[in-house]
Chain A
Amino acid sequence: QVQLQESGPGLVKPSETLSLTCTVSGGSVSSGSYYWSWIRQPPGKGLEWIGYIYYSGSTNYNPSLKSRVTISVDTSKNQFSLKLSSVTAADTAVYYCARDRWPPQGFGWGQGTLVTVSS
């Protein structure tokens, strides 16, 4: 059974870059069957899809975040990563990594990690 685990700093200063990594176990990010996504949830609010990456490196981002987001994959470490630049307090959220197929079969989720943006 594939498991996803997020890791990274829990506190980021305003205007800096948020960086998170998702480690995949029990499966491979190089599998051509899956797309690897980041999704976030501000405290007490709903879910927002950030973007995905395919093992080949092709990406697709939420238009509202596209100018600040970079998602990359490291097949040698079986990981994929998120970078979100110029963060503000509005970027405070639980960040989840997730996987899905195409055609879609619903997201499988990591446990999530809280990132707080504060000086």
Chain B
Amino acid sequence: QSALTQPRSVSGSPGQSVTISCTGTSSDVGGYNYVSWYQQHPGKAPKLMIYDVSKRPSGVPDRFSGSKSGNTASLTISGLQAEDEADYYCCSYAGSYTFWVFGGGTKLTVL
């Protein structure tokens, strides 16, 4: 069982927006602004999409955005495209003992 809770799956049509939630506790998501999101296509390594809750690395489209409220972080993908179909994982800093915890992953289907 993963430390952070994500929905197993979400879906949307091309051009629509979807939001993936990531719920933790005050010891991880709620306690630090160190939440990151990763996109993983089948058979590939994860790719960083968002770090520090809402920052985008260079090269990541601005269709991807992140936010946080309390113990829940969210990844929003607007203007869905076929290539966005993938698994998405959240990750949070959880203090100097546990350090990093991940969510169980969310499968995004573009209809």
Inter-subunit contact B36/A107 (CB<8 Å): yes
Of B13-21, B69-77, B78-86, B95-103, the stretch lying at the interface with chain A is: B95-103
**How many residues on A have C-beta within 8 angstroms of the other chain's C-beta atoms?**
21
Within the complex, which residue of B57, B93, B97, B105 is in contact with A47, where a contact is CB–CB below 8 Å? B105
In Å, the complex CA distance between A48 and B48 comes to 16
**How many residues on B have C-beta within 8 angstroms of the other chain's C-beta atoms?**
26
Inter-subunit contact B45/A46 (CB<8 Å): no
Inter-subunit contact B102/A47 (CB<8 Å): yes
Inter-subunit contact A49/B51 (CB<8 Å): no
In Å, the complex CA distance between A65 and B89 comes to 21
Is the C-beta of A36 less than 8 angstroms from some C-beta in chain B?
Answer: no
Identity of the chain A residue whose Cβ is nearest the Cβ of B93 in the assembled complex? A104
Of A12-20, A68-76, A77-85, A108-116, the stretch lying at the interface with chain B is: A108-116
